[in-house]
Structure 1
């Protein structure tokens, strides 16, 4: 790390001037011109977008966000929603614990806060599913509090600005200190979005556009020629491989047998195909006795902590089948592959392409 002499106020002003011209347009964002006119962001939209954006790209989130806002325009609407409806709308975004916490948080705000989001970092942090990053983002963007927002984009910008070569994740506290030094008292919400935009559009992971960066002059990594190799990351441990079996059963009239997964655990609360446990040597667990046939090929999917390989078995759903408590019979008209979690949709795609 280089001993970088910077004028924090001047740098913040430079970045805000850049943001005023180059701010990205997003359906949850109040742009700098509207912000200057006194229009404040809706905390509900800020919160919803930040939860959706965790581990996901802006491009992937946009459509989901618009559908959620159309169906549940306020946090009170979301709090009153059926769990299954919310989980179905979330299908495909992954990390399904976020959707469960979304409902818990909305219902806590409705029950304990009169439908209004707390306006401080400390009180936001007490809400279900809201961690330090999300609390800082909501406090800063929605309420213009001078909190330090540190996402992957900001980490990259700070590592390069100060030419910090210590690897993530251990260096996060240092990067947050550097980010805090630049967070201004005036327009902190705009600044938080500006520094994230800088990382997303200029100080990108590969081939950063240093020549047009508003912070190119004080950037130590640009001067040292090391920008493209930062931030450093500790070597990842290899992910284990788990195996499983899923069972796709369709009746002659197009009705499908689906199973609601337990609320806790991976894909919690989601509808999917009945199946075995996911482990090293799964034990077959067909939902009913039948002449089950295995499809050629396999489903591969990667979760945060492991790779999954699924065998896909198929059979005809018998007439008069009586489902168990955790199972649902979904008619051809009501069945939507898009409502399935991605790994389950992959199994359906293999079936359709058989």
Structure 2
């Protein structure tokens, strides 16, 4: 079955299925959907968790072994498979179908995917997963939808905001849902009476360090390596968390990868950028980035961002800020990143 993200909470109150698939390129909504599944699974006794990354080097036999492994303590567990390119390949497709053919009641399978192409949506492996479980498709919040989404999130935090206040925050975050949620957390502390008007919203968002992240990302897109590196050092010295900073970079990379692939198939550049979700006033920045970067180079940057993310989460040894610096300089066109660096980051 297919479930919209807003339906997931009520669904989980009724039942917990053996398989869940979360797909989409909006990091915050995808993360929240996956977290909701994990939370309910833990409540129902799935105390263990094993995470696999189904990339090109992954041995899908390991997934089969884990699914059938006997635990010393008879532990129920979540088996999580993250497939960064959305394509498990022939071996992966077969492995997923075999798991669904012989489900183990002590396992919950959680598959994390990017936005799926039509072929993947209609594939045998996806249909098999959906027949046994639920597929939560996450779609980006458009510019027109964002003020309403912000108002809903504010209400969930017991904050009432008028339309003008919601539009001010929407314009400020420019589609970055993580930044919007962070501002809402700040408002929970400052809006003691539970009401936010345009004046209060403007004062709250006027001087926030995380908007320096937006300016920092703009410098990357323009290709100003020196200025971007200086901003990165400043953000680090201010104590900025690496996670939202990396998410901001990764979000732009995903947009550029999607647009560059469409351009390589003959699509007009501006239309490809618009189709990838670029707002009109940010179009010049993305044009510059797209002009200087090939699709292959952008994908390589995205792989590095994924490796850094695993470093932040403690899944590999990493000097996170040095690696982010390398990523930034390569993104600006300084050509400091080579395929050999990628291999080191992923395999280290």
Band of TM-score, shorter chain: under 0.3
The two structures have a TM-score, normalised by structure 2, of 0.23
The two structures have a TM-score, normalised by structure 1, of 0.22
* Structure (1 or 2) with the larger CA radius of gyration: 1
More helix by share: 2
